[in-house]
Structure 1
């Protein structure tokens, strides 16, 4: 937990010493590999607030309490099975100032401009990290969201921007984590995730072909009911947590089959593990780590 004195120091530093952020990036002890020794990658995600997505279950502003969010992230990051973090600059910099990211994989979230609920939501502008800042700040890669809506022209500039980011990151030997999600609009114009296998497989193949090389591209995908969707790529895949169901055990059970597919290397989970119904963050993270380890070792989950 963040003590009152550490919180006061963080706020003081934010107000009086902005150069401390640059020093914290430079001083971070980097891990020398993306994958763990068992060949997996388990990241906690906290890039939802920058897109205006603050709700978890029946708590519409759960992620708006920054001290609480950082506390939860620090608890998760202390679990030995957690390899690192996916987040926007503000969250990463706060955890750097709290000395919470040494020896961890750190992936910078790049496009957060498609604000949740906005009329332009599909136009996912790059408003957070860009390629050069990821390189300059010694991060381990960048993540981009690619929501594909055939009826919405906002998809096209996002496709182009993601392709440029994939190429730029690859030129520096850094991971480009692309999250391709097919959507449609319902009768009232609300976005609905398409879960039919053909739509998901199409999104996978579109994302796989972005940029001048796929050598450093990873895909971040929802755990599909039809595992044949994962046969559409040879790229390494991490399974995303998605919207929490309200029962961590049910979510883990839903992810488990996909974790056994040979292209799947791990998990990237945010709200499900950071805000479990019983608020036992450590227990939820430990349970997810056990499922991932069981699948990696071929043991029953």
Structure 2
């Protein structure tokens, strides 16, 4: 069990402990050690997206989330984590980020279910903060709705973030979707053609794509999606539905497509139906490490 009493005490009495922990953290020489990446995603709460499998408050308990993250990060083959500052700093203070890849979540302004959900303003990390903390990159959500004027602001901000991260030689993880509001609810078009179009738009953001990676949903025709770019991609899990074995099978097929380098999955692994986080993570690691990297 993580030492939450220590965590609370440091938070209240020694705010400088966060910078000290970041400075002392054991870092990797390289982001990828074998051409693959297995990352755990934990930036959902900062956008107000707390639901898992119909439980609207599954991720509301921060102590439970941290316990699950610590378990996941300790499993062999897990490379690191994506999170907002509050989550990553908790993990730093708990000593869970040594030797791990850390990706800071950058735009959490489009709160889940809000009238301004598609206005994905940058309210989290910026490139300077990622570099200052010694982290490996920043992730940005880029939802593209042709009918929503807020989209162009998101695109402009994301392009600037890509450039700023590249200036610091940090990865820019771009998560694009073609989105549309129907009956007041935002939904993403997960057809292969729509995802491929979002890839084409996202890959062109910024003045360089040298440090750009893509974070993409798993669709039935991943070959069409990955034919749209030469950039490396990680697969996301989304809000899990259906039987885990079916999900793992889809991930396994997608991981064999050229250009796909691994997984960045959160809720499906941190909140499995049987509650066994370690087993769920181990299954995902086996898929990532067992899939052949296409030349």
> What TM-score do you get using the length of structure 2 for normalisation?
0.97
1:269-280 aligned at under 5 Å gives the runs 269-280=265-276
Using the TM superposition, give the Cα deviation of residue 246 of structure 1 relative to its aligned residue in structure 2, in angstroms.
4.4
Using the TM superposition, give the Cα deviation of residue 9 of structure 1 relative to its aligned residue in structure 2, in angstroms.
1.1
Distance in 1 between residues matched to 2:55 and 2:253, nearest whole Å: 29
> What TM-score do you get using the length of structure 1 for normalisation?
0.95
- Match of 2:115? 119
| 1:14 to 2:11 alignment | yes
- Match of 1:234? 230
| 1:197 to 2:197 alignment | no
Contact 2:258 2:293 in 1 (8 A): no
- Match of 2:53? 57
Using the TM superposition, give the Cα deviation of residue 245 of structure 1 relative to its aligned residue in structure 2, in angstroms.
1.0
Distance in 2 between residues matched to 1:297 and 1:153, nearest whole Å: 39
1:243-282 aligned at under 5 Å gives the runs 243-282=239-278
Contact 1:246 1:276 in 2 (8 A): no
Gaps of 5+ in 2: none
Distance in 2 between residues matched to 1:78 and 1:157, nearest whole Å: 39
User: Per the alignment, in what secondary structure is the counterpart of residue 178 of structure 2?
Assistant: strand
- Match of 1:134? 130
Gaps of 5+ in 1: none
Distance in 2 between residues matched to 1:236 and 1:78, nearest whole Å: 25
**Aligned-residue CA RMSD (Å):** 1.1
- Match of 2:43? 47
User: Per the alignment, in what secondary structure is the counterpart of residue 177 of structure 2?
Assistant: strand
The structure 1 segments of at least 4 consecutive aligned residues displaced by more than 6 Å after TM superposition are: none
| 1:76 to 2:54 alignment | no
